[in-house]
Amino acid sequence: MQERTRLSDGIQVVRAFQTETEDAKALLDMVAEEEDPSLVEELSQSLKAAAKRAETAELEALLSGEMDGNDTYLQINAGAGGTESQDWAGMLRRMYIRWAERQGYKIDVAEAHEGDEAGIKSTTLVIKGKNAFGWLKSESGVHRLVRISPFDSNARRHTSFASVWVYPVIDDRIEIDINEADVRTDTYRASGAGGQHVNKTDSAVRLTHIPTGIVVACQNGRSQHKNKETAWNMLRARLYEAELQKQLAVQQETHEAKSDIGWGHQIRSYVMQPYQLVKDLRTDVETSNISAVLDGDLDVFLTASLSHMIDNSPA
């Protein structure tokens, strides 16, 4: 049924473009007959919008990876630097939530550790929607912020780092066998505001896969049983992604980017002072509209990164 839906959606996209093309031809004939400048502008805007949608549809058609169409986990961790980095991690969380909302995706919070004064220490989001992993998979890496610190009474410029880790939610088509003896289970009291279970019972669950060192945690459910089930699903997804990265011979690079949240591993820089610029260091795509980017306008970067990955993928 999923495959049928995917093919049906693809056919509808093609038919919609065919209809738009026919309408544009009819409008062009009207322009030739009436020489109305307003019709010329209408035709121009219509074609530009159609071209942009066609470009997006073409990229989506290339999302052919086994997990590209799946929902995704998106994990954010603050780097060294205390409040500064925690605030930056919180800004990234908002940025990705705003982007996901624009796509019509559903967002759940699997776990979150709030910062001491502001922002977050870490969080894991579950983003649900068509091609969620395919679009976001290139976001894994270190994100760097340069700004005048709102927490510095001397108004000095600070550089902050936070890491983003994206991995797919796996479904029943993929079987991941895990030896339970290799997994350490820890329970602790969930942190957060309100709720009769919060801070009263050890409902939060953390799983550590000892052979790989992979750690996942879940605290959003009311019961320890539900959190444990979700954590195991997250662990299977992480192990699947790790194996996939190994097969693609990029696992080492990915783990370096995750393990060292600092200089030399960043994929994107966000500069707020002394000038405003967001630049992707892999594709060289940049924009000066940093407020729009932090409000979730990421399409130009995601599109460029996806094209870059496809162009540089092995034949």
Contacts of 77 (CB under 8 A, 6+ apart): 89, 121, 122, 162, 163, 165, 261
Contact (Cβ atoms closer than 8 angstroms) between residue 47 and residue 24: yes
Distance from C-alpha of 76 to C-alpha of 84, rounded to nearest angstrom:
15
DSSP 268-295: EEEE-SSS-EEEETTT--EES-HHHHHT
pLDDT of residue 195: 46
Compute the CA torsion angle 144, 93, 287, 263 (nearest 10 deg).
10
DSSP state of 139: G
Residue 287 has φ and ψ, to the nearest 5°, of -150, 150
Cis, bond preceding 37 (omega within 30 deg of 0):
no
**Mean pLDDT, 10 residues at a time, the chain of 315 residues:** 76 86 83 78 83 78 78 93 92 97 94 90 93 92 92 84 91 72 86 52 85 88 85 87 65 47 76 94 95 95 82 57
The interaxial angle of helices 37-61 and 2-34, nearest 10 deg, is 160
Decide if 214 contacts 206 (C-beta within 8 A). Answer: no
User: What b-and-e string marks burial along 142-156, b requiring 16 or more CB atoms within 10 Å of the CB?
Assistant: bbbbbbebeeeeeee
Q: Which two tokens stand for residue 193?
A: 């505001």
Q: Write out the DSSP string of 13-32.
A: HHHHHHHHHHHHHHHHHHHH
List beta partners, residue 120. 114
Kindly report the number of other CB atoms within 10 A of residue 122's CB atom: 19
In tens, the pLDDT along 175-230 reads 677 888 899 998 887 765 544 444 556 788 999 999 888 899 988 877 888 888 88
Look up residue 220 and give its amino acid. Answer: N
CA 51 to chain centroid, in Å, comes to: 25
Q: Which SS3 state, helix, strand or coil, does residue 237 take?
A: helix
| Cα distance from N-terminal residue to C-terminal residue, the chain | 30
- Structure-token pair, residue 312: 């540089």
pTM over the 0.75 mark: no
CB atoms within 10 A of CB 7: 10
The alpha carbons of the chain give a radius of gyration, in whole angstroms, of 22
Predicted pLDDT of residue 255: 46
pLDDT score, position 262? 55
Nearest 5°: the CA angle 183, 113, 117 is 150
* pLDDT score recorded for residue 192: 59
Q: Residue 250 forms beta bridges with which residues?
A: none
**Beta strands at 120-128 and 286-287: parallel, antiparallel or unpaired:** unpaired
199 in the Ramachandran plot: left (φ > 0), alpha (ψ -120 to 50) or beta?
A: left
